[in-house]
Amino acid sequence: MAVIVSKGTLLELTISAVDTAVAQVLDINVGQQAMETFDTTTLSTGVGKTSAPTGYSEQSDTTATIFYDPAQATHQFIAATIATPVAVAGNVVLADGSTTHLAFSASGLGIDLAVAMNDGLKSALTIKHSGLVGFPTA
């Protein structure tokens, strides 16, 4: 079983048909994938509540923290995409030596800025997914 280091992991967005790494990324959280379920408990069910899968799965948002640079091209692309909304494709590329890509389709992007004493200008990037992130499966 391999332990994969985080250093070298990339967050990419597809810009002009080219997978382009977002610059100055500090951390990435791909978010949880979960099966959607519904409550099947009835008045005659025993003590334990029951549930069943709906047949759907859902993906929570991906978030990343970046050192924000208003002159940096990928940061400008994010701002422009928010100003003129379009769907965006992308990947999280793991630093595992075999270039494992977790592909996604983003239906929305969000960004904020945080200014703090004794720190660089940071931004929290939010990626809202359409569908699931492509985790490797057996």
Q: Mind listing the pLDDT tens digit for each residue in 41-54?
A: 999 988 899 999 99
What is the predicted pLDDT for the residue at 61? 95
**In the block, which residue shows the tokens 């985790």?**
135
Q: What are 15's two structure tokens?
A: 């810009």
Q: How far apart are CA 97 and CA 73, in angstroms?
A: 27
Contact 123, 93 (CB under 8 A): no
- Encode pLDDT of 79-113 as tens digits: 999 999 999 999 999 998 767 899 999 999 999 99
